[in-house]
């Protein structure tokens, strides 16, 4: 039996209607630091921006649909908010194999992500209907 | 069979809580705004749990309405 690659929580994805307003709220209300520009990822049909609390290693990813046809449009119609958890892995294929063996379904196969400099991401759905993103581990200092 | 239909209706209502019970049996990808790709995967996951079966990914494209899902279950 193969051993599942170790993963760690990379970010919590939160769907918001207005990126600038949400960012200002997280910074002003909780003291988050802004770690990235607003990034448009056409593959994900979304705008994203990463924030982090000083001293923490886990990010918050603010996510907004890039238009009415975005795959996130329905999530926003339902009110937005907590959308997914993303785990970083040193072995994307190995993590996918381990998670699908645990009855998670691969709903979007590995694809390069603009927000991560072209590193691959994949999406899975668990039996608890929790949406999970996996991202390949990057070099030190990368998002 | 009626039991299967009722259980299937409950599956749909758990994924599409805004649907009226009467509207579930005519729900389809085209007619149900909330039925996007993620909802489709969620629906399949809930059905797999409820009916203790595994639905291959290759079969998902035929599950585009309540009627087609009901027929699919009858064929399994």
Does the beta-carbon distance from B38 to A107 stay under 8 Å?
Answer: yes
For residue B56, the chain A residues in CB contact (below 8 A) are none
Q: What length is written for chain A?
A: 143
Q: For residues A20 and B55, what is the distance between their CA atoms, to the nearest angstrom?
A: 41
DSSP A114: G
> Do residues A55 and A44 touch, judged by C-beta distance below 8 A?
no
For residue A71, the chain B residues in CB contact (below 8 A) are 36-38
| B45 has a chain A CB within 8 A of its CB | yes
ipTM, two decimals = 0.75
pLDDT 10s digits, A6-52: 999 999 999 999 999 999 999 999 999 999 999 999 988 999 999 99
pLDDT higher than 60, residue B71: yes
pLDDT higher than 60, residue A1: no
A83 Cα to chain B: minimum distance (Å): 11
For residue B44, the chain A residues in CB contact (below 8 A) are 105
For residue A129, the chain B residues in CB contact (below 8 A) are 42, 45-46
Please give the pLDDT value at position A3: 78
| pLDDT (mean) for B2-8 | 90
Does the beta-carbon distance from A107 to B33 stay under 8 Å?
Answer: no
A114 Cα to chain B: minimum distance (Å): 21
| CB neighbour list of residue A64: distance below 8 Å, 6 or more residues apart | A15, A16, A17, A18, A19, A22, A46, A47, A48, A72, A76
> Do residues A13 and A58 touch, judged by C-beta distance below 8 A?
no
pLDDT 10s digits, B6-50: 999 999 999 999 999 999 999 999 999 889 888 999 999 999 999
Does the beta-carbon distance from A105 to B37 stay under 8 Å?
Answer: no
Q: Phi first, then psi: give them for residue B66, nearest 5 degrees.
A: -60, -45
A115 Cα to chain B: minimum distance (Å): 21
pLDDT 10s digits, A58-115: 999 999 999 998 989 888 988 899 999 999 999 999 999 999 999 899 999 999 999 9
Measure Cα distances from A18 to A14, A15, A22, A25, B31 in Å: 11, 9, 6, 11, 28
Does the beta-carbon distance from B34 to A127 stay under 8 Å?
Answer: no
CA A103 to chain centre: 21
pLDDT top residue among A141 and B50? B50
Taking CA atoms, what residue in A is nearest to B46?
A: A127
């Amino acid at each position: 039996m193969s051993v599942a690659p170790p993963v760690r929580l990379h970010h919590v994805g939160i769907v918001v209607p207005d990126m600038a307003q949400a960012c200002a709220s997280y910074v002003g209300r909780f003291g988050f630091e802004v770690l990235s520009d607003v990034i448009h990822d056409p593959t994900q049909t979304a705008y994203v921006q990463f924030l982090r609390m000083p001293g923490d290693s886990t990010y918050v990813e603010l996510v907004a649909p890039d238009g009415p046809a975005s795959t996130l449009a329905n999530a926003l119609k339902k009110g937005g908010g907590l959308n997914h958890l993303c785990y970083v892995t040193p072995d994307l294929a190995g993590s996918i194999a381990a998670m699908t063996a645990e009855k998670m379904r691969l709903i979007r196969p590995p694809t390069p992500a603009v927000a991560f400099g072209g590193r691959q991401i994949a999406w899975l759905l668990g039996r608890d209907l929790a949406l999970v993103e996996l991202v390949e581990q990057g070099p030190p200092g990368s998002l | 069979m009626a039991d299967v239909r009722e259980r299937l209706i409950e599956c749909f209502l758990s994924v599409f809580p805004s649907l009226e019970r009467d509207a579930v049996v005519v729900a389809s990808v085209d007619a149900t705004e909330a039925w996007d790709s993620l909802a489709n995967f969620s629906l399949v996951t809930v059905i797999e749990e409820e009916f203790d079966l595994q639905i291959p990914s290759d079969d998902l494209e035929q599950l585009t309405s309540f009627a087609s899902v009901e027929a699919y279950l009858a064929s399994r």
